[in-house]
Amino acid sequence: MGVTALGSTKSTTFVTSDPSRFRSPKFAELGLLIRRFVGAMLPISHASMRIRVGVCAREERRFSGARQSWTGGRVSTEPVEYHEQGDIAFITLNRPEKLNALNPRVFELLDDFITRFADDDSLKVAVLHGNGTSFAAGADIEHYVDIDAVQYLDFMRSGNGVQLKYSQCPKPVIAAVHGYALGGGLELALACDFIVAAPDAQMGLPEVRLGLLPGGGGTQRLPRLIGTTRTAEILMTAKRFSGDQAVEWGMALGLGDHEDALAAATALAERIALQAVLPIRMAKVLLRSGADASLDAAMDLEQSMGAMIFTTADAREGIRAFVEKRRPEFKGN
């Protein structure tokens, strides 16, 4: 069967066996998805060219604010904290006295820290969680008191921009949810790849009680996970649902044997970090982009990406290690 080049990055060529596919609408859609893939791929080829220096397995690096320099210690009055442990980044909402309500400074730091995580090739997974009794009780309502509709829209837009960075981050991000995850707090968690929820977590979209509408994807991301009918009830009655309920509906993972959501999310992150980097990144794009594409286009993309991943050094190593009955040593290329 003839093979036609479909597109290429520096190191990779995507192929199809049927040139007539170039002309179909499905193919245009596929082209769009592939561009997203290429975006996810680029940091990897970059990574494989770099030599990693000074990152020992359990090294911890802590930062208390994106613009502050390395502190080496955990002293912070910033409303979001960041630290690294081995190849996992922890982003911590840190306004416990306000149940981690989200204000413009919180959005700014969330944005800075996800960028820091995404840009650092030595980091593989991020865990987002909240200090104190809750994940986040939504947008800071006090911030709404003196702003007009234009400022409100700007605030919504900056929140949405942050969420997009989390959902489109090339590496997996896990939200560890305990206590309240309401309004914008729930929406932020929904932008992550996983929610790990404590059984008694309280989630919901209570905006209608304030005379408002969810503005960060609540009306869009939640129904895609739990269906329109359940979402309509939650949205229109401001009814809360528990972590247990979220697990039952398939929108969250439970704690397993772990004592809290952070421990369970960390264990999940550690398991993901053991796997080959490239297939994880590709799986994230397939899961996110494929859900909005036609099944046909998404299946084509899955096959093309599967063939491309098959050519990587890590795939060779994984297969060889299985046959030789040993643990694989993945190098991220």
Q: Which residues bind ligand COA (CB under 6 A)?
A: 98-99, 101, 137-142, 180, 182-183, 206-207, 210, 212
Q: Is the CB of 18 or the CB of 142 nearer to ligand COA?
A: 142
Least distance between ligand COA and beta carbon 180 (Å): 4
Task: Give 61: exposed, middle or buried? Use CB within 10 Å, 0-12, 13-18, 19+.
Answer: middle
Catalytic residue among 207, 270, 302, 317: 207
Q: 196: which 2 tokens? A: 């790990």
Least distance between ligand COA and beta carbon 95 (Å): 8
Strand partners, 85: 60, 88
Q: Is the CB of 203 or the CB of 276 nearer to ligand COA?
A: 203
Q: Is the CB of 137 or the CB of 276 nearer to ligand COA?
A: 137
Q: Is the CB of 206 or the CB of 328 nearer to ligand COA?
A: 206
| Rounded Cα–Cα distance for residues 174 and 268 (Å) | 8
Least distance between ligand COA and beta carbon 99 (Å): 4
| Rounded Cα–Cα distance for residues 43 and 193 (Å) | 19
The 10 Å CB-count burial string (b at 16+, else e) for 192-219 is bbbbbbbeebbbbbbbeeeeeebbbbbb
196, amino acid identity: V
Residues 6+ apart with CB under 8 A from 153: none
Least distance between ligand COA and beta carbon 135 (Å): 11
Least distance between ligand COA and beta carbon 94 (Å): 14
| Rounded Cα–Cα distance for residues 319 and 296 (Å) | 29
Strands (E), the chain: 4-8, 13-16, 60-63, 80-85, 88-93, 125-130, 173-177, 180-182, 194-197, 202-204, 241-242
Q: Is the CB of 261 or the CB of 285 nearer to ligand COA?
A: 261
- Other Cβ atoms closer than 10 A to 161: 12
Q: Is the distance from CB of 99 to CB of 137 less than 8 angstroms?
A: yes
| Rounded Cα–Cα distance for residues 46 and 130 (Å) | 32
Q: Is the CB of 89 or the CB of 99 nearer to ligand COA?
A: 99
293, amino acid identity: A
Least distance between ligand COA and beta carbon 127 (Å): 22
Residue with tokens 């093979």: 3
Catalytic residue among 187, 248, 302, 324: 187
Q: Is 97 a catalytic residue?
A: no
Q: Is 207 a catalytic residue?
A: yes
Q: 89: which 2 tokens? A: 């980044």
The backbone torsions φ and ψ at residue 246, rounded to the nearest 5 degrees and listed phi first, read -60, -40
Task: Give 102: exposed, middle or buried? Use CB within 10 Å, 0-12, 13-18, 19+.
Answer: buried
Q: 177: which 2 tokens? A: 């949810």
Q: Is the CB of 16 or the CB of 163 nearer to ligand COA?
A: 163
Least distance between ligand COA and beta carbon 182 (Å): 4
Active site residues: 187, 207
